[in-house]
């Protein structure tokens, strides 16, 4: 039986959820954790790093794409409303992607912003801690979410904010019909209860969760 990569507890397979995926047709690759209320794809079904990069190369997420810039600008506006004025904050774009468009937009607005992505921007170049860390459509790619969140928190100031934009479980009645799981690079899925678990485990406060795709946590203690 597969263990959850976030909380370490036993998980159970979600039967019939993988049948429509041509890549792994007939293979049950999604496992549900009843302890932290997440769903994950076991490591044996993960793409290789080269396959993952090939998949990312298909994304047209560059600075010249006005639709993508408008989407990210909307995300930034949402964060601004939730946290107050972020213009005076030191911000880390965690999982920025190759072009780091979020970072570019933040810098255009005068924000002291930095980019990190495991494939493109090494974390070793990032110094100090941040008032705000944004993981916009990156946390669903975490191969080892528990270690990722530990790493994130080493870079988050006390009382600093962690904002996550990722589609949450429960937004559709049937997991098998949920489009978000069909991307083979999406390997860890969260619910609001998962973020409540994270808050309890890591000394965070769950400030906001809309139950769909927007979550804000605040660090209120030193680890």
Please name each of the domains of the chain with its CATH number: 47-219 (3.40.50.150)
> pLDDT at position 17, please?
62
Quick one: pLDDT at residue 49? 87
Instruction: Identify each DSSP E strand in the chain by its residue range.
Output: 12-13, 31-33, 38-40, 90-94, 112-116, 130-136, 156-165, 188-189, 204-209, 214-219
pTM > 0.85 = yes
Going residue by residue through the chain, which has 223 residues, state the pLDDT in tens, using 9 for 90 and above: 699 999 999 999 998 665 444 444 445 789 999 999 999 999 999 999 889 888 887 776 778 789 999 999 999 999 999 999 899 999 999 999 889 999 999 999 999 999 999 888 777 778 899 999 999 999 999 999 999 999 999 999 999 999 999 999 988 888 888 999 999 999 999 999 999 999 999 999 999 999 999 999 999 865 4
Q: Which SS3 state, helix, strand or coil, does residue 185 take?
A: coil
What pLDDT shows up at residue 121? 77
Q: Exposed, middle or buried: residue 4 (CB in 10 Å: 0-12, 13-18, 19+)?
A: buried
- CA–CA distance, 160 with 217 (Å, rounded to integer): 9
DSSP characters over 93-112: EET--SS-HHHHHHHHTT-E
Looking at residue 221, its pLDDT comes to 62
């Amino acid at each position: 039986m597969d263990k959850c990569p976030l909380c370490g507890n036993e998980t159970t397979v979600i039967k019939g959820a993988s049948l429509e995926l041509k890549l792994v047709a007939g293979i049950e690759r999604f496992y549900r954790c009843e302890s932290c209320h997440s769903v994950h794809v076991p490591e044996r079904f993960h793409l290789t790093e080269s396959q993952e990069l090939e998949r990312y190369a298909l994304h047209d997420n560059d600075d010249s794409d006005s639709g993508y810039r408008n989407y990210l600008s909307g995300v930034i506006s949402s964060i601004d409303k939730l946290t107050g004025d972020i213009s005076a904050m030191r911000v880390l774009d965690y999982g920025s992607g190759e072009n780091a468009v979020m970072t570019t937009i933040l810098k255009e607005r005068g924000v002291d912003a930095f980019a990190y992505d495991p494939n493109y921007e090494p974390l070793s170049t990032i110094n100090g801690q941040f008032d705000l860390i944004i993981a916009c459509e990156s946390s669903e790619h975490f191969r080892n979410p528990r270690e990722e969140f530990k790493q994130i928190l080493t870079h988050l100031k006390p009382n600093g904010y962690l904002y996550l934009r990722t589609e949450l479980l429960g937004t559709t009645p049937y997991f098998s019909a949920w489009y978000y799981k069909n991307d083979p690079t999406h390997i860890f899925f969260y619910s609001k209860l998962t973020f409540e678990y994270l808050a309890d485990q890591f000394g965070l406060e769950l400030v906001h969760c809309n139950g769909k795709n927007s979550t804000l946590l605040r660090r209120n203690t030193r680890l």
